Amino acid sequence: MSEIKTIGIAGCGTMGAGIAIVAARAGFRTVVYDTRQDALDRALKQTKDFLAKSVQRGKLTEEQAAASVNNFVLTTSLSDMGSCDLVIDAVFEDLRVKHDLFGKLNEVCPPHTIFASNTSTLSITEIAAGSGRDDRFVGMHFCLPAQLMKLVEMSPGLNTSEETLAKAWTACEALGQKPVKTKDNPGFILNYFLVPFNNDAIRMVEAGVAEPADIDRAIKEGLGYPMGPLELLDLVGLDTQLLLCEAMYGITNEPRTACPPLVKRMIAAGHLGRKSGRGFYTYQGNAMFGS
């Protein structure tokens, strides 16, 4: 295993909880921080449910699943992150929020702790500038759902040291993930293509070209994608798509990255996707309707 022994995850929404599962499953002591106890409780339940299914499918033994759960440390106290060798942020795509988080982490974490951001659109260099340790800062963008998808986009900022990138890369491989190196460009590799592509699918719905299920079916059958763009948007959350669009469009001014009006109307109506029970599809438990 790498020199990194304890990994901190700041923020335990859908993505943060997924990254935490990856870390704990790989044998790392995993400190999960959130300001809300209810979010931590949901993340723990999600973890136990996922690991139980992994046991049922023969992916893990019961002993491995139990060990993974035992690797978790859940906390609402940021000071508990001081024991971490690597801290990955999974909070909102907002530069001020991330600066505030990393500024506080810089005060509680020892000098050797590497900071990483799971941002999918914001500049690593700009986030690192508010961290107090921009030489020990790197982008680590996991794919959703992190506990199933192996790819991680590793993006050094302008001041990231080679040693930091090497340690983070080694830790990424120890997590069982597959890192690829990208420059600190808007959207990196995946979202450079994905944000405008998903927006195009939304605009097709908006224009009445086809129903969501038909668009998704065409993409899956014609292009071989495992999940259609509108299914993926429901999984990610329409509120998250709005943040991604605002970040990408604010940086690039590329018209295809601008948020379609339908997204804002859906958010106003509370149709956020799976998390609210309704998005482009409706949901009851794990069942999806409208397909």
Catalytic center residues: 120, 141, 153, 191
Burial of 45 (0-12, 13-18, 19+ CB in 10 A): exposed
User: Left if phi > 0, otherwise alpha if psi is -120 to 50, otherwise beta: which for 58?
Assistant: left
Other CB atoms within a 10 A radius of the CB of residue 69 amount to 14
Check: CB of residue 179 under 8 Å from CB of residue 165: no
Show Cβ contacts of residue 165 under 8 Å, excluding neighbours closer than 6 positions: 138, 154, 156
Alpha-helix runs per DSSP H in the chain: 14-25, 37-56, 62-70, 95-108, 124-128, 162-174, 190-206, 212-223, 229-236, 238-252, 261-268
Query: Strand pairing of 6-10 and 86-89?
Result: parallel
